Chain A
Amino acid sequence: MKIAVPRMGNLSLIIRDLAWRLGLETVETPVFSEETMEIGSALAPEFACLPLKAVLGSFVQVLELGADTLVTGGGHGPCRFGYYGEIQRRILEREGKSFRMVVLEPPSVGIKAFHDSLRSLLPREHVRLGVLLNELARTMSKVVVFDKLEKRAMALRGLETEPGATDEALAEAQGIVSGAYTRKEIEVARLEAEERMRQVPVDNARPYLRVGLVGEIFVVLEPFFNFDIEHWMGRRGVVVERAVNIADTVVPMGRNPVFGYTEQAVAQAAEPYLSHEVGGDGLLTVGASVIFARRGFDAIVHFLPFTCMPEVIAKGVLSRVAAELDVPILSLSIDEQTGRAGVETRLEALLDLAWSKRKFVRGLAESRARA
């Protein structure tokens, strides 16, 4: 059984870790490319959202590389994501591929469904439930460390004195954590990795902008679809903070350890603008935007796949957030046709706006102080 999992941000690191712990045989899914999107859009239904097309394209590619078991997430709606696996299975079957599709149901659908779908991926020899849970918990704590390192890197990139120093440190830090097995080792590796990140030389005197990144998890995490916004912003001396992280979605009870605000806090922040769960990351997008605005961020960038249902609602509501909390918010909807130049021009305009707004506010404060 050769398992393939779609790519999304740090997910490949996590899969590698799980494969190592549970003895799974995996096939590395190729990175997203123009070709992936061409295959995906040709097969997928016309109005399906971008992640479905992208993942479908990469499934075709990975089947050609010898994978025979495709793993994807499930769910019970209302986001379309919960039905992806079924549609992709039907399309790939129609194309005459032979494979097995495993839809990994999240525990919220039912503990048994989650357990059964997970079990069906394990190799033949029996893995005791206690061992399985233990390994999952260890991987989960590793995921949190990976995402926290990335969060730190996003902040450092805008401040570093030598370009590329942060990326170098991040790669080394990820290497250190990847090797850790037991809980104790993970903890030691975490401290060591954080120490490595601290060695990045930064220039604290330089003025910088703070930008919040919100939106649908797939396009926010995959550099191919957001035109590598984290590096793009970093090169322009912008400190970026991201609201969506894989760790926050896998850690139970809505604790959001990486973003730092619990689900309840996010819902409370969103309440005046969006007072009900809308599936996907819609509520998080609105709540995080309000939190970023209150913390005095200079701008917020909202990424969504074209026609994504929860994010379109969030987009409609964000115009009100931007007006009432006086923060520039740029919504960028991404599909297979989106061009880099168009996105970058709009992002540049957003940064210019944020700079001039800051100068204006400072000028206002100075004139008040004089008077």
Chain B
Amino acid sequence: MKVGIPRAMLFHHYGEYWLNFLETLGVEAVVSEATTPDIITSGAVHADNETCLPVKVFSGHIIWLKERVDVVLVPRVVSEQYGTLACPKFMGLPDLARALDPDLPPVLAPRIHLADRRYLWAREWYSVARALGGTRLASASAVAGLLYGLEKHRVQARARPAAEGMTVGVAGHLYNVHDSRASLGLLDRVKSMGANPVTVDQVVPSRARMQAETLSRRIFWGYESRLAGAVLHWSRTRSVAGILYVTSFACGPGSIVGALLEDQLGREGSVPLMTITLDEHAAEAGLITRLEAFIDMLRRARRSSPGGLSVGGAQGVRS
């Protein structure tokens, strides 16, 4: 039996643990290929036209898997941290996948609800493991491995290669930033312009959480709370020269958190922030021009005042 996993959405957060889970069970896993323009196009055709870019990309990956696998694994992520919830799109993702195409293979949707008691949802993974043909022992060990991995992911930051030169914070969803097609190669472009990009998953979660707690109203989306914390951390410690806020068109939490961060950073005086909005029509030329302008501005500011540029009131460039 072949189990398909779309290389989209939360695969970029939890993919390695899902693959480990399937490997422990001895089931063959098929991960869809890296996003291509064709996948984005077929996703945009099949998905509802109002959804955000990542859901369209996800739909394209599901369609890609349709002919190639026997079942599809789309875990339902309800929360990623204590006291928070995930974006509603993650909660409805398996149901959206099922509604995409009537001929789709069955969709397995065990829950991940890290804010809740483990035994309430871990058993769903156990039944999935059993249904995939795992023995009792293999299933239990696969679930235990998964829980361990998720816990590690929750508290640890991803390692960051040491690098010289100017650092630029890239605040965006991992499934946009780490998908080089959806983000039009944003990270590579920043690197080729001579700056070191640092992403949200490279900030220690506890530090981000501490910063996020200083906001006047708690952000109730798990990942956005971490993102806002990371941005405040970068800005308050001046550990980056500038911040790129990457969001996708029609991203719900992104629209609110973006406005919140612009306001908060404007009030306390921060490093420059530029907002980049991605959609399936994004053209490279526009992105490159804006990135070049932003990075040139940061570089010039560094040359004139070694401490970096501080912008009070205005929020730098907005695109």
User: Hey, which bits of chain A sit against chain B, CB under 8 A?
Assistant: 44-49, 76-80, 82-83, 85-87, 90-91, 94, 103, 273-280, 282, 306-310, 312-313, 315-317, 319-320, 323, 333
Cβ contacts under 8 Å, B102 to chain A? 323
Nearest B residue to A277 by beta-carbon distance? B91
The reply to whether A48 and B259 form a contact with Cβ atoms under 8 Å apart is: yes
The reply to whether B92 and A80 form a contact with Cβ atoms under 8 Å apart is: no
Known contacts A45-B259, A47-B251; 7 further A-B pairs (Cβ under 8 A):
A45-B258, A47-B255, A78-B220, A86-B260, A279-B85, A312-B51, A313-B88
Distance of A220 Cα from B88 Cα, bound (Å): 20
Cβ contacts under 8 Å, A282 to chain B? 88, 92
Question: Chain A nearest CB: distance from B128 CB in Å?
Answer: 15
The yes or no answer to B253 lying at the interface (CB within 8 A) is yes
Q: Which of B93-101, B170-178, B205-213 contacts A (4 or more CB under 8 A)?
A: B93-101
Task: Indicate whether A83 sits within 8 Å of B219 (C-beta atoms), given known contacts A94-B263, A276-B76, A316-B48.
Answer: yes
The reply to whether B92 and A317 form a contact with Cβ atoms under 8 Å apart is: yes
Cβ contacts under 8 Å, A46 to chain B? 255
**Tier of interface size on chain B:** 35 or more
> Interface majority SS on B: helix, strand, loop or mixed?
mixed
What's the A-B contact tally at a CB cutoff of 8 Å? 124
Contact among B98, B216, B219 with A320 in the assembled complex (CB-CB below 8 Å): B98
Question: Chain B nearest CB: distance from A42 CB in Å?
Answer: 14
Task: Indicate whether A77 sits within 8 Å of B221 (C-beta atoms), given known contacts A87-B260, A282-B88.
Answer: yes
Question: Chain B nearest CB: distance from A70 CB in Å?
Answer: 15
Distance of A227 Cα from B279 Cα, bound (Å): 30
Q: Bits for B48-69, please: 1 = Cβ < 8 Å to A, else 0.
A: 1011100000000000000000
Cβ contacts under 8 Å, B259 to chain A? 44-45, 48, 87, 90-91
Contact among B48, B86, B216 with A312 in the assembled complex (CB-CB below 8 Å): B48
Question: Chain A nearest CB: distance from B280 CB in Å?
Answer: 15
Distance of A80 Cα from B260 Cα, bound (Å): 12
The yes or no answer to B303 lying at the interface (CB within 8 A) is no
Distance of A312 Cα from B255 Cα, bound (Å): 15
Distance of A274 Cα from B107 Cα, bound (Å): 13
Cβ contacts under 8 Å, B109 to chain A? 275
Distance of A279 Cα from B220 Cα, bound (Å): 12
Distance of A312 Cα from B95 Cα, bound (Å): 12
Nearest B residue to A76 by beta-carbon distance? B220
Nearest A residue to B84 by beta-carbon distance? A77
Question: Chain B nearest CB: distance from A190 CB in Å?
Answer: 37
Cβ contacts under 8 Å, B217 to chain A? 83, 85-86, 103
Cβ contacts under 8 Å, B255 to chain A? 45-49, 80, 307
Q: Bits for B216-239, please: 1 = Cβ < 8 Å to A, else 0.
A: 110111000000000000000000
The reply to whether B99 and A316 form a contact with Cβ atoms under 8 Å apart is: yes
The reply to whether A278 and B88 form a contact with Cβ atoms under 8 Å apart is: yes
Task: Indicate whether A280 sits within 8 Å of B50 (C-beta atoms), given known contacts A87-B256, A273-B99.
Answer: no
Can you show 21 pairs from A to B with CB atoms below 8 A apart?
A: A44-B259, A45-B255, A47-B249, A77-B220, A80-B252, A83-B220, A86-B260, A90-B263, A276-B76, A278-B88, A282-B88, A307-B50, A307-B252, A307-B255, A310-B92, A312-B51, A312-B250, A313-B92, A317-B92, A317-B96, A317-B99
The reply to whether B88 and A310 form a contact with Cβ atoms under 8 Å apart is: yes
The reply to whether B256 and A80 form a contact with Cβ atoms under 8 Å apart is: yes
Q: Bits for B238-265, please: 1 = Cβ < 8 Å to A, else 0.
A: 0000000000011111111011100100
Distance of A82 Cα from B221 Cα, bound (Å): 11
Task: Indicate whether A313 sits within 8 Å of B50 (C-beta atoms), given known contacts A45-B259, A47-B255, A76-B85.
Answer: no
Cβ contacts under 8 Å, A273 to chain B? 95, 98-99
Question: Chain B nearest CB: distance from A312 CB in Å?
Answer: 5
The yes or no answer to B78 lying at the interface (CB within 8 A) is yes
Task: Indicate whether A316 sits within 8 Å of B47 (C-beta atoms), given known contacts A45-B258, A76-B85, A83-B220.
Answer: yes
Cβ contacts under 8 Å, B249 to chain A? 47
Distance of A87 Cα from B254 Cα, bound (Å): 13
